[in-house]
Amino acid sequence: MPAKDSLILPDRIAKYIFLIRKQKVMLSLHLAELYGVEPRALVQAVKRNRDRFPADFMFQLTRKEFENLKSQFVISSWGGARRATPYAFTEQGVAMLSSVLKSQRAIAVNIEIMRTFVQLRAILTGNPDLLRRLDELEAKYDSQFKMVFEAIRELMKGPESPRREIGFRAKERRARYTVRRRKPV
């Protein structure tokens, strides 16, 4: 359990977790705010270490996705005109940020973010009553809430990415054995 004097409150982190492309993600601009750095500095650090962030760890939002996300909030404090859309980091991408941002604040914030992701997953997957109530609400209300119910169901699913094997496989050439024949005398 995090201490009361913790830098970041878990409910503050939870409000920054969104469901985009069927993945729970945090946006670069929110992560920069939590880490106490400029968004461009965070993105620049990620771009310098691009090989640490494959597509299943991080992706850039399309203009349409970003506009759709902004339109879901009545008051948008996400800045005015932006040249580029923000990046979205999955749970693994946020964990990888700890290897790129090495300040004490970044370490403390990463710990709190990981705890929040774990708590969110435990709440959504460990509550069969929630699933039953969701089914009842879905049956009760018409299709105007269908998108909301689908989003909640996606949040309830665990991570779908297949686990990679740990370690590496060395590719070795096959040994060539030849039989020497003696020359007849």
Give the chain's mean pLDDT. Answer: 75
* Residue, of 144 and 47, whose pLDDT is higher: 47
* Residue, of 126 and 158, whose pLDDT is higher: 126
Percent of the chain with pLDDT over 70: 64
Rounded CA separation 109/103 (Å): 10
Kindly tell me if the per-residue pLDDT of 89 is higher than 90: yes
Find tokens 């297949």 and name the residue: 162
Same domain, 83 and 33: yes
pTM: 0.58
| Measured CA distances, 162 to 53, 60, 158, 165, 183 (Å) | 17, 22, 11, 9, 58
The residue among 113, 142, 86, 109 whose CA lies nearest residue 35 is: 109
The range of the structural domain enclosing residue 72 comes to 10-125
- What is the tens place of the pLDDT at every residue in 148-184? 666 666 666 665 666 667 776 777 777 677 777 777 7
* Residue, of 132 and 8, whose pLDDT is higher: 132
Winning range, highest mean pLDDT, from 45-59, 121-135, 140-154: 45-59
**Is residue 117 within 8 Å of 125, Cβ to Cβ?**
no
Rounded CA separation 65/82 (Å): 14
Kindly tell me if the per-residue pLDDT of 97 is higher than 80: yes
What's the per-residue H, E or C state across 55-106?
Answer: CCCEEECCHHHHHHHHHCCCCCCCCCCCCCCCEEECHHHHHHHHHHCCCHHH
Same domain, 87 and 132: no
Same domain, 154 and 68: no
Domain stops at, among 82, 107, 125: 125
Same domain, 16 and 29: yes
Task: Return the CATH number at 71.
Answer: 3.10.260
Pair type for strands 87-89 and 17-20: unpaired
Same domain, 137 and 118: no
The pLDDT confidence band at residue 84, using thresholds 50, 70 and 90, is confident
Same domain, 78 and 137: no
Domains of the chain: total: 2
The pLDDT confidence band at residue 4, using thresholds 50, 70 and 90, is very low
Same domain, 148 and 117: no
Rounded CA separation 14/146 (Å): 23
**Is residue 81 within 8 Å of 100, Cβ to Cβ?**
no
Q: Which residues contact 23 (CB under 8 A, 6 or more apart)?
A: 88, 90
